[in-house]
Amino acid sequence: MRAVVSVATVVYFLREGYEVFGADSDPQALEAARRLAVSLCAGAPGRTFRLEALDAMSFPDGFCRCGASGSAVLHFARDDDHFLAMLRGTWRV
């Protein structure tokens, strides 16, 4: 099963055997997720993590069957409109 998740949930999904994809707008967090994925699962390609915001992810509509965000991800919304855009982006994928 394919999952698009935030960096915070990478460990759980990799250990459960998911094909994990991720998006983060912080380059350092993204690189940490890539390294973590490869260290936890030798076959995990680090290129499945993309440097992009939740409200502008380049994954196609309906890309995955499971999506998750870390508990604090939506707290970074600038305002109500941005919060809703982040949710819509996650739901779209």
Q: Compute the distance between CA of residue 93 and CA of residue 80 in angstroms, rounded to an integer.
A: 20
Q: Which residues pair with 5 in a beta bridge?
A: 22, 68
Which two structure tokens, joined as six digits, stand for 50? 């993309």
* Domain residue ranges in the chain: 2-92
pLDDT value for 75: 80
Looking at the structure, give the CATH architecture of the domain made up of residues 2-92.
3-Layer(aba) Sandwich (3.40)
7 Cβ contact list (under 8 Å, min separation 6): 22, 24, 29, 30, 32, 33, 36, 70
Mean pLDDT of 62-83: 81
pLDDT value for 90: 86
Q: Compute the distance between CA of residue 19 and CA of residue 17 in angstroms, rounded to an integer.
A: 7
pLDDT value for 17: 80
pLDDT band at 39 (very low <50, low <70, confident <90, very high): confident
pLDDT value for 80: 94
Would you say the pTM of this structure is higher than 0.75?
no
